[in-house]
A and B are shown apart, each in its own frame.
Chain A
Amino acid sequence: MVTSREQQARLWIKLQVAWARLHQHAPNAAAALPFVPLVLAWWLTAMLEVFPRAFFPGPGEVILSLKSLIYKGILPEYLFDSMMRLMVGASAGAAIAVPLGVLIGMNRHANSALWPPLLFFQAVGDIAWLPILLVWFGFGLTTMTFVIVYTVLFPVVLNTVLGIRSINPDLLRAAHSLGASRARIIWEVVLPGALPNIMTGLRNGLGYGWRALIAAEIIVGTSGIGFLMFDARRAGSVVEIMLGMIVLGLLWYVVDAWILAPIERATGERWGMVTR
């Protein structure tokens, strides 16, 4: 293909403009667009049998499996179970993590006292708790909730602390000088100021809480999407594993794109705190 550099540059600019316009007028279409080449590549790879069919099924087979599982009622039930566990765990985790993060970010003594145990227990990790949790609570909701709360905690705390430390100190001084008490400074300045980072932390935390849930379901589960995938692995059925992974991804995608991202956008960008 012989095109002059100028033609290439012009084409590139036209592409960017078209993309920006699409992004502006139809953001959902724009979000779905990158997946089209991905699915095409997948379909092609499967059809050409680059890998053996048993190891790498194509989109068609996955869709068939989807229909079958919905029909049998398994998928909706597992989905509901997984979601419930995540909701409960994540809410509890965030409710603990944000105040903890504020405390650590604002108070030197709390920082010295709590940071080491925080790092240690983050290091131990939620999964390492599974054996002893099984000894204490057996298989069940308590074990899984603990794991999720535990996982969500750390990214939220870390990002909250980062957010607090990134606040322009003049803002804190201004509030102090305008007569705000410590409590009011936290509510009026610290929390809004750290909010973009807290949102990032929540987004990360939810993402990993979701993954920890799947891990717990794989190792310990009796229902849920994670269990679906592990059961399929035992039966050697790649199709259902892939289906499970796609469902996971899509579900998260929807929550993230339609709930979390708009919130993040409404705060950070409106206040001019993050360049886009």
Chain B
Amino acid sequence: MKSLTLNHLSKTYFDPYKGTQVTALEDISLSIAPGEFVSVVGPSGCGKTTLLNVIAGFLPETSGSIRVDGKPISGPGPDRGVVFQSFALFPWKTVLDNVGFGPKMRGVGRDDRDAIAMEYLQLAGLAYAADRYPAELSGGMQQRVGVVRALANEPDVLLMDEPFASVDAQTRLTLQEELIRIWLDRRTTVLFITHDVPEAVFLANRVVILSKGRVMNEITIDLPHPRKWDELVENDNFKSLSARVLQSVRAA
């Protein structure tokens, strides 16, 4: 696990339909310590998805720097794993081959990468589905595969783009608890984008509130681990933290 540092990061692009330059991100500076879990929330259009795309390397930054463990990034790469809202599993590969894709790109042989893939599938509780195709799985299962596919590459940083937005509400709660369990096990540095405030508070050490491309506020979440929804729903600290974050988002 490594640190992620953003220094005066800006991103502007030309919108052909509006005919003008649009500033998606403005002067964002953020330090994420190794092993820290940071959630980014904000109203629609605040730039949180653009932020993730720039850190992931899918979009170039206009100015400023992005460093992983002190070294600047260049383009997409296995050091920054990505989990997509649309799952983005390869429909023509089995679950096992999907998870083993990253190792395959690194040149790991079939037996070794199958073993690695199985290990991660077991971590997600999906070892039994190894030979199935993504189309045969439910949304929740597909996303779990998406998460461990990114993790199987042992990334320095894990970037998650509203990963549970396409999943039903109850499965979402389960997936959140699972994500924490996996994170406690692996202690990856995580940047988690969401518009769901309780989700952001539930998962993170720190919540960053974004608005119109700028960092508006940061709130530290000092709730103890392991966190369970049944307990936290009644927890006063959780409720007040959520309220503070929500107020901040709505004021943005």
The verdict on A189 contacting chain B, using a C-beta distance below 8 Å, is: yes
0/1 interface trace, chain A 187-201, chain B, CB 8 Å (1 if under): 011001101000000
Within 8 A of A (CB), among B60-117: 75-78, 80-82, 84, 86, 88, 90-93, 101-102, 105-106
Query: Given A267-B92, A271-B91, is A168 in contact with B105 using a C-beta cutoff of 8 Å?
Result: no
Contacts of B105 in A (CB 8 A): 175, 178-181, 184
A245 shortest CB reach to chain B, Å: 39
Asked if A176 is at the interface (CB within 8 A of a chain B CB), the reply is: yes
Contact B92 A271 (CB under 8 A): yes
Tell me whether B101 and A178 are in contact (CB under 8 A).
yes
Residue of A nearest to B75 (CB): A176
Verify B90–A177 contact, CB threshold 8 A. Answer: no
Contact with B along A96-129 (1 / 0, CB 8 A): 0000000000000000000000000000000000
**Does A70 reach chain B (CB closer than 8 Å)?**
no
Residues of A within 8 A of B80 (CB): 177
Instruction: Say whether, besides A174-B84, A177-B77, A273 and B56 are in contact (CB < 8 Å).
Output: no
| A272 / chain B contacts, CB cutoff of 8 Å | 91, 133-135
Contact of B88 among A171, A180, A181, A195 (CB under 8 A): A171
Q: Which residues of chain A come closer than 8 Å to B102, judged between CB atoms?
A: 178-179
Point out the residues of chain A lying under 8 angstroms from B13, CB to CB: none
B2 at the interface (CB under 8 A from A): no
Inter-chain contacts of A168 with B (CB < 8 A): 86, 88
Q: Which of A174, A184, A192 has its CB near the most chain B CB atoms (within 10 A)?
A: A174
**Is the CB of B5 closer than 8 A to any CB of chain A?**
no
Evaluate contact between A189 and B90: CB separation under 8 angstroms: yes
Beta-carbon contacts under 8 Å, B131-185 to A:
133-135, 149-150, 153
A233 interfacial by beta-carbon distance below 8 Å: no
Q: Which of A174, A181, A195 interacts with B82 by CB under 8 Å? A: A174
Q: CB-CB < 8 A to A180: which residues of B?
A: 101, 105
Whether B57 sits at the interface, judged by CB under 8 Å, is yes
| Docked-complex contact A173 and B133, CB < 8 angstroms | no
Number of A-B residue pairs, CB cutoff 8 Å, is 74
Complex Cα–Cα for A188 and B134 (A): 16
Complex Cα distance, B106 from A63, in Å, reads 63
CA distance A253 to B133 in the complex (A): 31
Q: How many Å from the CB of B164 to the closest CB on chain A? A: 16
Looking at A168, A173, A179, A184, which has the most chain B CB atoms within 10 Å of its CB? A179
Complex interface: chain B residues within 8 A of A184 (CB): 105
Complex: chain A residue closest to B79, CB-CB: A179
B229 lies within 8 A of chain A by Cβ: no
- Which of A175, A177, A178, A192 is the one whose CB lies under 8 Å from B92? A192
B76 adjacent to A176 (CB under 8 Å): yes
- Chain A residues near B149 (CB, 8 Å)? 174, 178
A177 near B101 (CB under 8 angstroms)?
no
The answer to whether A178 and B78 touch across the interface, beta carbons within 8 angstroms, is yes
Closest to A271 in B: B91
Q: A173-B56, A176-B76, A272-B135 are in contact. Are A192 and B90 (CB under 8 A)?
A: yes
Q: Kindly identify which residue among A171, A174, A175, A177 contacts B57, using a CB–CB cutoff of 8 Å.
A: A177
For the complex, give the distance between the alpha carbons of A193 and B134 in Å. 14
- Which of B75, B80, B92, B101 is most buried by chain A, counting CB atoms within 10 A of its CB? B92
Give per-residue flags for A239-273: 1 if the beta carbon is below 8 A from chain B beta carbons, else 0.
00000000000000000000000000001001111
Given contacts A189-B90, A272-B91, 12 further A-B contacts (CB under 8 A): A168-B88, A170-B84, A170-B86, A173-B82, A175-B105, A177-B58, A177-B78, A184-B105, A188-B101, A267-B92, A272-B133, A272-B135
Question: What are 19 A-B interface contacts by the 8 Å CB criterion?
Answer: A168-B86, A170-B86, A171-B88, A173-B56, A174-B88, A174-B149, A176-B57, A176-B58, A176-B76, A177-B56, A177-B78, A177-B82, A178-B105, A180-B101, A188-B90, A193-B92, A271-B133, A272-B91, A272-B133
- Give the 3 A-B residue pairs with the shortest CB-CB distance, closest first: A272-B135, A170-B88, A179-B78
